[in-house]
A and B are shown apart, each in its own frame.
Chain A
Amino acid sequence: MPTGDQPLNDQTLTDQEIAPVKSGSTLLIACGALAHEILALKKLNGWDHLALRCLPAKLHLFPEKITSEVARVVNEERENFNSIFVVYADCGTGGQLAAYCAEQGIEMVRGPHCYAFYEGVDAFAAHDDEITAFYLTDFLVRQFDAFVIKPMGLDRHPQLRDAYFGNYTKLVYQAQTDDPALTEKARACAERLGLAFERRLTGYGDLIRELSRA
């Protein structure tokens, strides 16, 4: 297993687990899609007590597996840390992950998914004017092919595009960092999906507040 001590590679974060940096007293069990952001915040805020172990971001395509995978890692790591914090939102587990965490006395991130907590969970819930938007984050822009195009089969079957995205009108890029190259890539993603493009610099949103509880 690669470890969080090494420079992180997005392909690895999509497909594989990342073992913890063995320094902290609190273990973050996180989605690979959040690894860069968590490490950036850790550095910025001097959160040296936090260690990170990531599950492959691709689990999002099979949300029914998320809770059992988190539970497996909790069981493996519980002995090694004073506390554990789960850096997943509900992510389509239909409340199962929250129920598991509550039962185990473990804290987790509040909200339905990362698009909501980057904007701010309350702000996201307060508007319903964007149901035809498809969101991308920094991670998803970088991993667009591995996370969207390939699993949805659009590389092999481009004719399926409208079956997936026919009801969508725009792609909203929620930028965590201000990176012109990523913005250009996001714009190209929108074009590929036949959607209008909008960029919003959200920064890390609620993730900062949530991690400060860990």
Chain B
Amino acid sequence: MADDEDIILSELSDDELVLQMQDDLYDGMKEEIEEAVEILLERGWAPYDILTKALVAGMTIVGHDFRDGILFVPEVLLAAGAMKGGMAILKPLLAETGAPRMGKMVIGTVKGDIHDIGKNLVGMMMEGAGFEIIDLGINNPVEDYLDALKREDADILGMSALLTTTMPYMKVVIDTMVQEGIRNDYIVLVGGAPLNEEFGKAIGADAYCRDAAVAVETAKELVARRHNQH
């Protein structure tokens, strides 16, 4: 926005500052986000409140506008970069201040595929919602997923694929889990632009999620359901 230079963040009221942070996040302004996070901390805000009310709320708007075609990939990347800056400050504080812990997710892009923007965004939003994220990066063979799930005692497996040629590999991973008798020990979420609900069902995932916001809601719901069953 044109008048940004005139705004002195520390002079804004809490409500104004939170709104300003959502704007700054939308515009990918990392330094402003970092500064605003520090200001709210100084004002005695709980790290978890800063995370959810300013950063996650702002990023949710970005997600909706991406879904609706108003923003494209570079804007999403810049916003994610700004959010990451804010989260880096908050992360060490979150653990100390007893923020809610929702569960642990292993996430990675499947073998043959090195698209990672969507996967990173999902990981970040899940983290923002209180999940612990183990990010395996790109190009993951089945062993990497299974080793990480066991080693980390994770609750959720998340797989991403952006290529028609790599989507089928998700089934290889799920089939291997079935063979090893561990499929039902984990919630399996899949995503990526060329996938759809039908594909998710066909390969035996618990859910296909069209975007990061849906991923967070779905993960919360499925984790709660699992707790009720046990």
Contacts and interface: CB of A to CB of B under 8 A. Distances in A.
Interface residues of B, number: 25
Interface string B161-180: 01111010000000000000
Contacts of A168: 114
Nearest to B78: A157
B154 interface: no
B74 interface: yes
B193 interface: yes
Contacts of B167: 94
Contacts of B72: 61, 151, 153
Interface stretch (B142-150, B194-202, B218-226): B194-202
B73 A153 contact: yes
A112 B114 contact: no
A156 B78 CA distance: 11
B138 A94 contact: no
B19 interface: no
A94 B112 contact: no
18 contacts: A63-B193, A90-B164, A92-B162, A92-B163, A92-B193, A93-B164, A94-B194, A125-B165, A128-B112, A152-B73, A153-B74, A153-B78, A157-B74, A160-B74, A163-B77, A164-B77, A167-B114, A168-B114
Contacts of A156: 74
A160 B195 contact: no
Contacts of A131: 112-114, 139
Given A92-B162, A92-B163, A151-B72, 13 more contacts: A62-B69, A92-B194, A95-B164, A112-B163, A113-B164, A128-B112, A151-B73, A153-B73, A153-B75, A153-B77, A154-B74, A157-B74, A164-B117
A152 B78 CA distance: 11
B36 to A, nearest CB: 21
Given A125-B165, A131-B113, A168-B114, A63 B194 contact: yes
Nearest to B161: A94
Interface of A: 61-64, 90, 92-96, 112-113, 116, 125, 128, 131-132, 151-154, 156-157, 160, 163-164, 167-168
Contact of A160 (B78, B114, B163): B78
Given A63-B193, A160-B78, A112 B164 contact: yes
B25 to A, nearest CB: 15
B220 to A, nearest CB: 26
A156 B72 CA distance: 13
Contacts of A151: 72-74
A94 B74 CA distance: 23
B78 to A, nearest CB: 6
Contacts of B73: 151-153
A112 B168 CA distance: 13
A128 B74 CA distance: 28
A191 B68 CA distance: 34
Top 6 nearest A-B pairs by Cβ distance?
A153-B74, A94-B194, A90-B164, A167-B114, A112-B165, A112-B164
Nearest to B80: A163
A150 to B, nearest CB: 9
A160 B164 contact: no
B114 A94 contact: no
B28 to A, nearest CB: 8
B116 interface: yes
